[in-house]
């Protein structure tokens, strides 16, 4: 079991290398072990490409030659962090491939609850004579794909709340002017996060006051879709959020239209269950994860609706004495880490 956990951890490390490219597919890593030596490994290609198991097998072919690799597979263990698929999608079923190649053993991190898999891949492996087990580092494997599982089980994106506050719990100045709270390292980390998620959301006030572009300019990563809540279409057309660096989706009460990289979506009952409406619309657009960046009213609306999964809060060492209060979370802090002189607090919503 210790060996199985060791190589499953390697699968998880590989899986996260696909964090910014595989959505709406899950992040998966795979390792092929023969006589205590890794002869192939891989992770899921960008969406529409090969799955982790296929890439691990191709890696073995390149290292050993196809004939020699296939000779070794019958005495090899395939480790994979998520149950191999059992259906035809953009690629053939991985479970069928593993049976065909006659792997001796397959060790799976967790089952895939997607309706077209959901244990069927595991059954195919067992039915094909493979010694298959499931549940090695299961919690860690489920956590890595928390975005994927949230989307398929709850029909909405995985929601990450993010903000910065002062040591005395303030979010912004009283006069609504822009004033930076966290340090430069924290700002760069936020840009890294943006590249790992599908979309990022702000409200009208943030777009007007901060004029953010919501890109990954401080990190080498893809720009997320930009989501703007703008009921009355008050944000001017030359705002940074509308530049051509990424697509922008504008939820509003008046207009449905598509103009170049801008998609306007009018909601008939705009103020009724707004977070739920937005999340369902984004689910229909294959958005698997969403960062909510602000402002305080927007963040609080997701908290009050219970429509959040994770919160990342930077707490600076500054005290302002007066200003607007930060959003209110009743959840306990799950973990903390230092980012320069800022404290980064992680929260997880245990109620969802």
Q: Catalytic residue numbers?
A: 53
Q: In what order do the strands lie in the sheet with 225-229?
A: 257-259, 262-266, 248-252, 225-229, 199-203, 289-294, 158-165, 310-315, 342-348, 335-339
Strands (E), the chain: 29-34, 37-43, 76-82, 105-110, 131-134, 158-165, 170-172, 199-203, 225-229, 248-252, 257-259, 262-266, 289-294, 310-315, 324-325, 335-339, 342-348
CA distance 193 to 233: 28
CA distance 111 to 236: 47
Query: Which tokens in the block code for residue 215?
Result: 């890109």
CA distance 75 to 69: 10
Vertex 182 angle, CA 177 and 187, to 5°: 105
Q: Which helix (H) or strand (E) holds 54?
A: helix 52-64
**Residue from 80, 28, 31 nearest 49 by CA:** 28
User: What DSSP character marks residue 243?
Assistant: S
Residue 256's CB is within 10 A of a number of other CB atoms, namely 11
**Residue from 298, 318, 323, 294 nearest 210 by CA:** 294
Dihedral angle sign, alpha carbons of residues 213, 216, 221, 226 = negative
CA distance 294 to 172: 11
CA distance 135 to 24: 23
Q: Which residues contact 308 (CB under 8 A, 6 or more apart)?
A: 159, 160, 161, 292, 302, 349, 352
């Amino acid at each position: 079991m210790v060996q199985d956990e060791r190589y499953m951890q390697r699968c998880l490390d590989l899986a996260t290398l696909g964090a910014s490219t595989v959505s709406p597919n899950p992040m998966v890593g795979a390792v092929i072990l023969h006589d205590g030596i890794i002869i192939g490994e891989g992770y899921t290609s960008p969406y529409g490409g090969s799955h982790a198991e296929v890439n691990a097998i191709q890696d073995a072919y390149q290292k050993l030659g196809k004939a020699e690799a296939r000779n070794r597979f019958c005495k090899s263990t395939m480790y994979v962090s998520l149950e191999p698929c059992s259906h035809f999608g953009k690629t053939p079923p991985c479970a069928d491939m593993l049976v065909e190649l006659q792997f001796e053993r397959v060790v799976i991190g967790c089952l895939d609850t997607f309706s077209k898999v959901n244990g069927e891949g595991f059954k195919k492996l067992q039915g094909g004579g493979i010694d298959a087990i499931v549940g090695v580092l299961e919690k860690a494997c489920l956590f890595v794909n928390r975005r994927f599982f949230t989307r398929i089980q709850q029909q909405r994106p995985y929601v990450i709340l993010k903000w910065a506050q002062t040591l005395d719990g303030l979010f912004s100045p009283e006069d609504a002017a822009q004033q930076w709270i966290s340090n430069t390292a924290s700002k760069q980390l936020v840009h890294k996060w943006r590249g790992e998620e599908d979309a990022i959301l702000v409200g009208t006030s943030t777009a007007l006051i901060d004029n953010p572009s919501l890109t990954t300019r401080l990190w080498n990563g893809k720009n997320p879709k930009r989501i703007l809540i703008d009921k009355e279409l008050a944000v001017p057309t030359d705002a940074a959020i509308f530049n051509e660096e990424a697509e922008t989706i504008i939820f509003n009460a008046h207009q449905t239209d598509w103009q170049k990289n801008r998609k306007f979506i009018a909601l008939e009952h705009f103020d009724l269950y707004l977070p739920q409406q937005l999340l369902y619309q984004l689910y229909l657009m294959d958005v698997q994860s969403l960062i909510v960046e602000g402002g305080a009213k927007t963040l609080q609306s997701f908290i009050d609706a219970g429509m959040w999964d994770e919160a990342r809060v930077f707490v600076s060492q500054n005290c302002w004495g007066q200003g607007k209060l930060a959003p209110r979370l009743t959840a306990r802090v799950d973990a903390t880490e230092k980012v320069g002189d800022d404290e980064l607090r992680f929260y997880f919503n245990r109620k969802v």
